[in-house]
Structure 1
Amino acid sequence: MKNAHPEMVSDILHRRFDAAPMLENLIATRRQLHRHAEIGLNLPLTQALVLQELTELDLEITAGRDLSSVTAVLRGGKPGPVVLLRADMDALPITEPSGLPFASSTGAMHACGHDLHVAGLLGAVRLLHERRDELPGTVIFMFQPGEEGYAGARTMIEEGVLEAAGERPVAAYAVHVDCMKDSGTFFTRSGPMLASASSLQVHVSGTGGHPAFPEHAIDPIPIAAEIVLAVQSFVARRVPATDPAVVSILKITSEQLAPNALPIGVTIGASVRTLSRDTFALMREKLVPLVSAIGEAHGAPTTTDYQDSYPVTINDPHEASFALDVLERLHGRDGVQVLSAPLMATEDFAYVLEQVPGALVVLGARPTDVLVEGAPGMHSAGAIFDDSVLGKQAETLAELAWRRLQST
């Protein structure tokens, strides 16, 4: 692989940071976070734990106004630019059945590994803080609530996280764990890394009527079926195969409970995912009038609600190349894989990457005693993570920040 920053990687084989002495504490912190999982933008227990870990250090700390975020700024002893490292903190509304000693009892569950993200970033803070006199620049640490559908990253940007150090970062990085990928292996790619996500809600109005005399009524069910097929055909024929989109119908519900009456309305719910800004715009512009036209053709009024969620997560080519180079030199070629295609999951780190060049990296965290076949997936009640990767995660985040500051 061609080095993105050949002038600064000559000594990268020398491991600058060693998280081994703190690994036990990182695991304990992660498990405490896991036990007290919280949902959304208001995470008082999680925020309090993060603040407790940070307040003893020489940092500039700011808490969020409209969300339980924490922003910490570490200023190095040498002049240099600013780099941002980010961890999301919220859990999912899933009841955990694991029976683990540190299982959540809050009715929420860290089924996406955000507890590891927080603990890993706290480790990176300590590693960089220990060498702050030598640090060639400034690091912003972004502890963010509300990734799971609440756009917490966008709110933190609105509240000024990118200006927290007085000047904008030149690069931003995040590491996301994955309980289905080999433990300790890193994955990333240049360009689109994760998909955008939008939701399409359609309500088709009928008149109700007797099923024996459908000619005297407007039956919304076949109209809804036509809409479903038309949306799928739109993706197959109007979206380039080289720039795919995925539309998944998530629900079709009727407003009729009687067993012998045509419904007065049908609601369709769909998820729309794309991998480029152009296709993202195309789907938003064209799907709503397509649905409306079908309803109009049948005399059935339709209402549509198209809600954008997260934009495409796009790794800057220069920063992705830099990150891959650092990862390979730090963990060896066997410990790093370049993804051949984007993943269709979503991430609100995309909001940061829209404004700051950077890269999202995935770190495998499937326990070694869990087979790939049948392994519980992310966002499932059975998701389980190998938290021994926390040392490697902390070291990698610290190394990415240090090397990127040194390269400018």
Structure 2
Amino acid sequence: MPALGFALALCFAPVQPAQAADIDALAADVGEAVVAWRRDIHQHPELGNREFRTSALVAQHLEGLGMEVRTGIAHTGVTGLLKGGRPGPRIALRADMDALPVTERTGLPFASTVTTEYAGQTTGVMHACGHDAHVAILMGVAQALAGMRGELPGEVLFVFQPAEEGPPPGEDGGASMMLDEGIFDDVEPEAVYGLHVWASLPVGQLGYRSGPMMASADRWVLDIAGQQTHGSRPWGGVDPIAIAGQVLAGMNAIIARQIDITSSPVVLSPGRIEGGIRFNIIPDTVQMEGTLRTFDMQVREDVIARFARTASAIAEAAGGSATLEVENSAPVTANDAALTTRVLPTLHAAVGEANVVEMPLMTVAEDFSEFANRVPGFFFFVGSTSRGIDPATAPNNHSPEFLLDEESLDVGVRAMLALALAHLVTPGGTASD
């Protein structure tokens, strides 16, 4: 392993090729292990709040590196605190561990064959979003940094989070629960970093955005009450199915005619409509369920108020009623502007300036935002689609055919190592501004 002084030279002076190569060497030392961990975790995926095997693997690894380890946080979360041999700042590095209820169709030799019961159905379980890669990358970064503990300034809190995709119905979990259980209370970092492998970028590229980057995500449920009647006599009751149809039109009108989407994009989408049991009976009730995505919390509150008011007015006009409930699963993910400016030179040094690209606003969501709302945060994407494949047409994250190029593991380790070292050596995260 190269001496720490050479690796840290990257953080103080204009980057020279030999200095960047030292970060590459640090990553190469753990490269084979990272690939092996990723394949093992991929073959043994676990859903949110059920990451028992994965968290045990992580805890054993961190304990073997001599860290102070906490387990059982937010059910299955793990943290490890690495204390350097010299005074310095404290940062947090985060990876999520959970898989999805998706039946894998990649054909990989280490493809998942795990099945489970989810929402009353038998389904496969797959790391279709790449969290297996996130865990393996952070385990590699932990090993590389622990190997230079004696000369390392400051402290690093490694956060392995369960249930990023959301806890099972009726349960709590995820980043907010880890914070509620105090992971930042005694060891609050001055900054938190996270990454996500991303099929929409080619391998070798990193993506970022300053300020808001990913949307707030809300799950909404609208209960519409009417009055049951025979299908041949609709005038004898109140048809909640007809009300639901008018509510759909009203929802679209809110976004198209009432919200300035040029200043802040909004998505309001239904995903489920359920009501009735027989072809000739108009039911008492209909339930609608869907998602709201916004990038501004004031806009979010405004849309929710308009939606509730519109649905109630439509239902009451027909003689029924409508009740809206909204549950937020992740706030807006926003990168701290000052931190973003400071870390960009480090990313440029790690992969080349041409390979660091600015991302558009994305209506997907990430509960890394919970950590970044507590302390300044920086979240970035690691391209995962193989060269020669158009990322625009590659199976995206959450697809049963999501296929990660394992070169992205090395890129992720290099980028996260470079960010961690830059921040620890020069408080504030600057590399060579």
Q: TM-score if structure 1 supplies the norm length? A: 0.93
1:79-102 CA distances to partner (integer Å, 9 max, x unpaired)? 111111000000001121323211
Relative to structure 1, the CA distance from residue 129 to residue 24 in structure 2 (aligned partners, 3 Å threshold; closer, same or farther) is same
1:183-235 CA distances to partner (integer Å, 9 max, x unpaired)? 12000010101001111211212223234432222112221111111122112
Which residue of structure 2 aligns with residue 157 of structure 1? Answer: 179
Decide whether the 8 Å contact of 1:204 with 1:303 is kept in 2.
Answer: yes
* 1:27 counterpart = 2:27: no
Distance in 1 between the 2:300 and 2:36 partners? 41
Distance in 1 between the 2:408 and 2:280 partners? 58
Which residue of structure 1 aligns with residue 133 of structure 2? Answer: 116
Decide whether the 8 Å contact of 1:37 with 1:109 is kept in 2.
Answer: yes
Once the two structures are TM-superposed, the CA of residue 11 in structure 1 deviates from its matched residue by: 4.1
* 1:376 counterpart = 2:395: yes
* 1:363 counterpart = 2:382: yes
Which residue of structure 2 aligns with residue 279 of structure 1? Answer: 299
Once the two structures are TM-superposed, the CA of residue 367 in structure 1 deviates from its matched residue by: 2.3
Once the two structures are TM-superposed, the CA of residue 286 in structure 1 deviates from its matched residue by: 3.4
What amino acid does structure 1 have at the position aligned with 2:411? Answer: K
* Seq. identity, %: 35
Which residue of structure 1 aligns with residue 55 of structure 2? Answer: 47
Q: TM-score if structure 2 supplies the norm length? A: 0.88
Which residue of structure 2 aligns with residue 352 of structure 1? Answer: 371
Give the paired residue count: 398
Once the two structures are TM-superposed, the CA of residue 12 in structure 1 deviates from its matched residue by: 4.0
Relative to structure 1, the CA distance from residue 134 to residue 12 in structure 2 (aligned partners, 3 Å threshold; closer, same or farther) is farther
Once the two structures are TM-superposed, the CA of residue 282 in structure 1 deviates from its matched residue by: 2.0
Once the two structures are TM-superposed, the CA of residue 181 in structure 1 deviates from its matched residue by: 1.5
Decide whether the 8 Å contact of 2:104 with 2:400 is kept in 1.
Answer: yes
Which residue of structure 2 aligns with residue 137 of structure 1? Answer: 154
206-215 or 148-157, larger mean C-alpha shift: 206-215
219-228 or 363-372, larger mean C-alpha shift: 363-372
* 1:225 counterpart = 2:245: yes
* 1:100 counterpart = 2:120: no
Which residue of structure 2 aligns with residue 200 of structure 1? Answer: 220
What amino acid does structure 1 have at the position aligned with 2:111? Answer: A
* 3-state secondary structure, aligned to 1:197: strand
1:242-269 CA distances to partner (integer Å, 9 max, x unpaired)? 1111011112222132x23323322211
Distance in 2 between the 1:135 and 1:163 partners? 23
Distance in 2 between the 1:285 and 1:209 partners? 31
* 3-state secondary structure, aligned to 2:229: coil
* 1:77 counterpart = 2:80: no
Q: How does 1:209-248 map to 2 (within 5 A)?
A: 209-241=229-261, 242-248=263-269
Decide whether the 8 Å contact of 2:276 with 2:282 is kept in 1.
Answer: no
59-68 or 22-31, larger mean C-alpha shift: 59-68
Once the two structures are TM-superposed, the CA of residue 388 in structure 1 deviates from its matched residue by: 2.0
What amino acid does structure 2 have at the position aligned with 1:37? Answer: P
Once the two structures are TM-superposed, the CA of residue 164 in structure 1 deviates from its matched residue by: 4.8
Once the two structures are TM-superposed, the CA of residue 372 in structure 1 deviates from its matched residue by: 3.1
Distance in 2 between the 1:62 and 1:269 partners? 37
* 3-state secondary structure, aligned to 2:220: strand
* 3-state secondary structure, aligned to 2:399: coil
* 1:253 counterpart = 2:261: no
Distance in 2 between the 1:320 and 1:284 partners? 31
What amino acid does structure 2 have at the position aligned with 1:158? Answer: D
Q: CA RMSD in A?
A: 1.8
Distance in 1 between the 2:15 and 2:254 partners? 49
What amino acid does structure 1 have at the position aligned with 2:299? Answer: T
Distance in 2 between the 1:135 and 1:164 partners? 21
Which residue of structure 2 aligns with residue 401 of structure 1? Answer: 420
Structure 2 residue ranges without an equivalent (≥5)? 1-9, 116-124, 168-172, 428-433
307-316 or 130-139, larger mean C-alpha shift: 130-139
1:21-77 CA distances to partner (integer Å, 9 max, x unpaired)? 321221011000001100011311001111222222121111124411110111111
Structure 1 residue ranges without an equivalent (≥5)? 1-6
Decide whether the 8 Å contact of 2:84 with 2:155 is kept in 1.
Answer: yes
Which residue of structure 2 aligns with residue 183 of structure 1? Answer: 203
Which residue of structure 1 aligns with residue 3 of structure 2? Answer: none
Decide whether the 8 Å contact of 2:95 with 2:134 is kept in 1.
Answer: yes
Decide whether the 8 Å contact of 1:195 with 1:312 is kept in 2.
Answer: yes
Distance in 1 between the 2:180 and 2:287 partners? 34
17-26 or 169-178, larger mean C-alpha shift: 17-26
Decide whether the 8 Å contact of 1:188 with 1:324 is kept in 2.
Answer: no
Distance in 1 between the 2:385 and 2:186 partners? 35
Which residue of structure 2 aligns with residue 3 of structure 1? Answer: none
Distance in 2 between the 1:8 and 1:20 partners? 19
Relative to structure 1, the CA distance from residue 401 to residue 372 in structure 2 (aligned partners, 3 Å threshold; closer, same or farther) is closer
Distance in 2 between the 1:367 and 1:164 partners? 42
Which residue of structure 2 aligns with residue 174 of structure 1? Answer: 194
Distance in 1 between the 2:14 and 2:49 partners? 41
271-280 or 295-304, larger mean C-alpha shift: 295-304
199-208 or 281-290, larger mean C-alpha shift: 281-290
Once the two structures are TM-superposed, the CA of residue 369 in structure 1 deviates from its matched residue by: 5.0
Once the two structures are TM-superposed, the CA of residue 134 in structure 1 deviates from its matched residue by: 2.1
365-374 or 185-194, larger mean C-alpha shift: 365-374
